[in-house]
Amino acid sequence: MTEADEHKRAVGFAAVDRYVRSGTCVGLGTGSTARWAVERVGERVARGENIVVVATSAATERQCRELGIPLAALGEREIDVAIDGADEVAADWSLTKGGGGAHFREKAVALAARAFVVIVTAEKLVEKLGAFPTPVEVVPFTLAVVTRAIEIAYPGARVQQRLSRDGTPFVTDNGNALVDCAFGAIDDPAALDAALREIHGVVATGLFPGPLTAAVLVAGGGEVRELLRIASR
Catalytic residues, by residue number, are 106
Query: Strands, DSSP E only, in the chain?
Result: 24-28, 51-55, 81-84, 88-89, 95-96, 116-121, 134-138, 158-161, 177-182, 202-205, 207-208, 215-220, 223-226
Which of 86-107 are b and which e, b meaning 16 or more Cβ less than 10 Å from the residue's Cβ? bbbbbbbbbbbbbbbbbbbbbb
60 contacts 41 by C-beta, under 8 angstroms: no
58-67 helix and 34-46 helix, angle to the nearest 10 degrees: 30
Helices (H), 161-230: 189-197
* Separation between Cα atoms, residue 107 and residue 132, nearest integer Å: 18
Q: Which residues contact 56 (CB under 8 A, 6 or more apart)?
A: 27, 28, 29, 30, 34, 84, 102, 105, 106, 108, 109
State the first-to-last Cα distance of the chain, in angstroms, to the nearest integer: 39
Q: How far is CA 192 from the centre of its chain?
A: 17
Three-state secondary-structure class, residue 73: coil
Taking the CB of residue 108, how many other CB atoms lie within 10 A of it? 17
